[in-house]
Structures are given as C-alpha cells and as structure tokens.
C-alpha cells in the first residue's frame, strides 16, 4: 500500500464473509463466480482446488503483489498482497460483495460475520520474540519476571481484542505473530522468517434490514483505518521497523 508500504516488507488487505449455511458447490456456480473476478482482473488466472475442497483463484505471486479469492464451505474470502493503494484492495472486496448475493445466494440473514484485516510483515533473521519484546515492551506487571529470570524469550505474541459498543457486534483485534520457536533458540539457527502484525475489524451477526453488505464493509474500513493512523503506525509498526533496522 503506497501510504503504508514503507513501514514493512509486505502488507496486505484481506476480507472474508462467514455464513451460517453452506455455500453452493455446483461446478457451474463456482466457476461462474470466479469468472467474474477474472473478467475484472484478467491476471487472476490460476484456478485450483485444495485438498479440503476449497476453491482458489489467484494471480501469479512472482511479482511480489497479487490478488486472490477463495470459496470454502461456509466462507468466501479475498485479498490483495502489496496493493499500490488501499482503494484498489477495497474495490476488489466491494466487487466480491456485489457478487455474493446473486451468484452464491448469500443473504443478510445468512451472515455469521464479516472480517476486514490489514496485515504487515517484517523480514527478520533472529529471535522474533526477543525483538518484539524489545521494540513493543512488555506489560509492567511482567517486567520484573522478564528482568529477574534473565531468560530468553521463546514465545511472545501480544494481542488484544476490543468490542466497540455494548452489543459487542463490532470488534477489533490487534496482534503480533512470531515464527521463532524453542528449536531455533536452542540451536542458534534462525531462518529469515516474517514477523506479522495485523489489525482486524469484524462485524458479527446478521445484517439489519436497513443495512447492506457494502455499507458494513465501508464501516469496518473506516474503523480500521482510524486505528491504524492514530495508534498502530506510531506505537507498533514504527518501533518494530526501527528495532529491526539497527540489528
């Protein structure tokens, strides 16, 4: 994403809609759904089925940026890795919501949840847990334990989930995922893997008669962007980027 790409090595915007009932699996229905994606985005030409029956359409990954879409038993998903702008990614997700009611028979009543995720990946060869603790800190109540034990961090993935409203239907989750384990620490051999930071905005439950899927998606986008701009950039992405840069 042009305005955020400088903060991490890779970034992405994913969206999924979970349903209460199974989605259609007929050959013609599934193919027609993905054909609409290919008409809009001709580079989405790699179609295949995973072992668990998930259908996938995606662009080539060689260029470092690509779109993808999937249909699972009770979930339709899409994403854009390293888009040139957030608007391009959101355009894809809005198109998906235009298609779902007509081609996969998804209704407002059948919606279990809608989830919009912004992710940021940082390449780092070393102890992920250690550098996350160093750059983001640990809760004050745990600092005496960390400092007193003089140990080595083998697992540290801070996360928090908040409900925005008394009904808890809109929730946001901010988390960090590390890929260093005890084997890496014990051997001192750290592969170059990615530390992932993500912010997910989720709406639970069926939509109201006055609501539409695009309206809910736009609201999730606004909630997520506000939190990214006001908090995530300064307090998570920048400190982690700086700590990695000086190693």
Which of 178, 196, 193 has the alpha carbon at shortest distance from 12?
196
pLDDT higher than threshold 90 for residue 27: yes
Name the pLDDT band for 1 (thresholds 50, 70, 90): low
User: Tens digits of per-residue pLDDT, 158-201?
Assistant: 999 999 999 999 999 999 999 999 999 999 999 999 999 999 99
Average pLDDT, the chain: 95
Place of tokens 């908090």: 231
**CB neighbours of residue 148 within 10 Å:** 8
Residues 45-50: what's their mean pLDDT?
A: 96
pLDDT higher than threshold 70 for residue 237: yes
Half-sphere exposure in the Cβ direction for 143 (13 Å, CA)? 7
Tell me what pLDDT residue 3 has: 74
Tell me what pLDDT residue 126 has: 96
CA distances to 81, 149, 173 from 146, rounded to whole Å, are 36, 6, 25
pLDDT higher than threshold 90 for residue 2: no
CA quadruple 43, 29, 205, 109: dihedral, nearest 10: 140
Name the pLDDT band for 151 (thresholds 50, 70, 90): confident
- What is the distance between the alpha carbons of residues 220 and 237, in angstroms, rounded to a whole number? 20
Tell me what pLDDT residue 5 has: 79
Tell me what pLDDT residue 6 has: 87
Tell me what pLDDT residue 33 has: 98
pLDDT higher than threshold 80 for residue 213: yes
- What is the distance between the alpha carbons of residues 50 and 39, in angstroms, rounded to a whole number? 23
For 197, the 3-state DSSP assignment is strand
Which tokens belong to 15?
């969206």
pLDDT higher than threshold 70 for residue 233: yes
**Percent of the chain at pLDDT exceeding 90:** 91
Residues 100-121: what's their mean pLDDT?
A: 97
Per the CB < 8 A criterion, the answer to whether 135 and 237 are in contact is no
Tell me what pLDDT residue 4 has: 80
Handedness of CA 107, 113, 116, 121 (dihedral sign): negative
Angle between helices 238-245 and 128-136 (to 10 degrees): 120
Question: Residues with Cβ < 8 Å from 152, sequence gap 6 or more?
Answer: 127, 130, 185
Tell me what pLDDT residue 196 has: 98
Per the CB < 8 A criterion, the answer to whether 113 and 51 are in contact is no
Polymer length of the chain:
247
């Amino acid at each position: 994403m042009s305005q955020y790409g400088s903060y991490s090595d890779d970034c992405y915007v994913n969206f999924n809609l979970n349903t209460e009932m199974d989605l259609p699996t007929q050959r013609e229905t599934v193919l027609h759904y993905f054909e609409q994606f290919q008409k809009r985005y001709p580079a989405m030409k790699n179609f295949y089925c995973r072992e668990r029956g998930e259908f996938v359409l995606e662009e080539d990954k060689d260029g470092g940026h690509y779109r993808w879409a999937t249909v699972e038993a009770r979930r339709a998903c899409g994403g854009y890795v390293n888009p040139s702008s957030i608007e391009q990614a959101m355009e894809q997700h809005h198109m998906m919501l235009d298609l779902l009611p007509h081609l996969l028979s998804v209704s407002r009543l059948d919606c279990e949840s809608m989830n919009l995720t912004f992710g940021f990946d940082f390449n780092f060869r070393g102890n992920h847990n250690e550098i996350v603790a160093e750059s983001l800190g640990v809760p004050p109540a745990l600092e005496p334990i960390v400092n007193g034990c003089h140990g080595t961090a083998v697992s540290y993935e801070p996360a928090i989930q908040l409900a925005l409203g008394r009904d808890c239907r809109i929730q946001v989750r901010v988390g960090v995922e590390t890929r260093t384990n005890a084997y890496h620490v014990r051997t001192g051999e750290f592969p170059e893997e990615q530390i992932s930071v993500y912010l997910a905005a989720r709406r639970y439950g069926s939509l109201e008669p006055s609501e539409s899927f695009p309206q809910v998606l736009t609201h999730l986008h606004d909630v997520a962007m506000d939190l990214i701009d006001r908090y995530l950039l300064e307090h998570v992405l920048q400190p982690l980027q700086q700590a990695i840069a000086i190693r």
